[in-house]
Structure 1
Amino acid sequence: MLKLNKIQQVKYEEVVNRLKQKSIKITDIRSNIIQLLIISEHMNIQQLTLKLEKILTNVNLASVYNTIDLLLKEHIISSNTFDGKNIWYELSTNKSAHVKCDECGTIEHVSSDKIQNIDFKEFKDLILYSKQHLEHVKIELHVICEECSKKRK
């Protein structure tokens, strides 16, 4: 088991309990993938597999993909594609924001406390006429970071 801080441990237990309530078995690979996604704000399959190979003796790539599919289906994680090629995974939240530098490709996850004051009611109002229920909101901001701005000058 990876070393989780108290907040991460609470998130981990919440996820595991959600899966157990649906009678989904918590295998070693599932447990480690969940923990890695909690510890790291974003990971793609390649990064996830490399970290798993350092923890587990035998990593079956099909099991990695199956676990990711399961966690996506259960809305435990969400996926983001920032460059149209790589898919990044993160723990699902109701509100999610990212800032991507279009020059160097760095991606910054904006913590939920920084976006809590944004009025998401307007998004709800957009779908009210069709009687739909808003599940979550993702915001993606594209910028030129400070380092890349300096290089341009």
Structure 2
Amino acid sequence: MATDHLPVSGDFLNQRLAEKGLRFTSQRQHVYEVLLSQRDHPSADEVFMRAKQSKPEISMATVYNSLDALVKCGVVRQVNVDRGASMYCSNMNEHAHFCCDDCGKVFDVNLKDSPRVPEVDVSGKFEVRQIDIALHGRCTGTCEDCGRREAHA
């Protein structure tokens, strides 16, 4: 897909959910819209807090169930870095993640050229469906939090 994020329309989401035998609900649509509204990688708790701002009646269980459904139907990617809480990414293009060791934020990083499976020997024992690449380091001018910290150091 040419854009970083998938369409917001209810019809699109309804179709993707139906393909996996899942129901479309207004809560799932709302959680999806919350994820599309910012280009970050929120945890379930952060999604819940954002969703609650405009839909105060939404529960944490509904957010977890919605996130699970969105991952299953392929419109959101679950990102696990080290042993921290799962985060959710609405960028479904092939990309890597840069994880700042100082502030803990995760950023999308474009892969140059077309991504390809690294040459690893799986000898027919495994079927590779997805590769997750996480780069670790420090933000250098891209993060307000790290910029403020450097200014006070």
Same fold, TM-score > 0.5, yes or no: yes
Normalized per residue, the structure richer in helix is 1
Pair 137,16 (structure 1): closer, same or farther in 2 beyond 3 Å? farther
Compute the RMSD of aligned alpha carbons. 3.2
Offset at residue 116 of structure 1 (A): 4.6
So what's the TM-score if we normalise by structure 1? Answer: 0.72
The residue number in structure 1 matching 2:101 is 102
Report how many aligned residue pairs link the two structures: 143
- Give the ranges of 4+ consecutive aligned residues of structure 1 lying more than 4 Å apart after TM superposition: 6-9, 147-150
So what's the TM-score if we normalise by structure 2? Answer: 0.72
Pair 115,15 (structure 1): closer, same or farther in 2 beyond 3 Å? farther
Offset at residue 134 of structure 1 (A): 2.8
Residue-by-residue CA offset, 1:112-143 (whole Å, 9 max, x unaligned): xx3151541435x644x216443222110001
Q: Which runs of 5+ in 1 are unaligned?
A: 1-5
Contact kept, 8 Å, 2:5 with 2:36, in 1: the verdict is yes
The residue number in structure 2 matching 1:3 is none
Matched residue type, 2:124: S
Normalized per residue, the structure richer in strand is 1
Offset at residue 47 of structure 1 (A): 1.4
Pair 22,103 (structure 1): closer, same or farther in 2 beyond 3 Å? closer
Pair 32,38 (structure 1): closer, same or farther in 2 beyond 3 Å? same
Residue-by-residue CA offset, 1:59-104 (whole Å, 9 max, x unaligned): 1211111122223333432222335222211136362311111122
Residue 10 of structure 2 corresponds to residue 10 of structure 1: no
Q: Could you say which structure has the greater relative contact order, defined with CA pairs below 8 angstroms and 6 or more residues apart? A: 2
Contact kept, 8 Å, 1:94 with 1:137, in 2: the verdict is no
Q: Which runs of 5+ in 2 are unaligned?
A: none
Contact kept, 8 Å, 1:75 with 1:92, in 2: the verdict is no
Contact kept, 8 Å, 2:6 with 2:90, in 1: the verdict is no
Offset at residue 56 of structure 1 (A): 1.2
| Structure 1 Cα separation of the partners of residues 132 and 62 of structure 2 | 28
* Percentage of matched positions with identical amino acids: 21
Pair 126,37 (structure 1): closer, same or farther in 2 beyond 3 Å? farther
Offset at residue 25 of structure 1 (A): 2.0
| Structure 2 Cα separation of the partners of residues 109 and 86 of structure 1 | 17
3-state SS of 1:122 partner: coil
Pair 126,55 (structure 1): closer, same or farther in 2 beyond 3 Å? farther
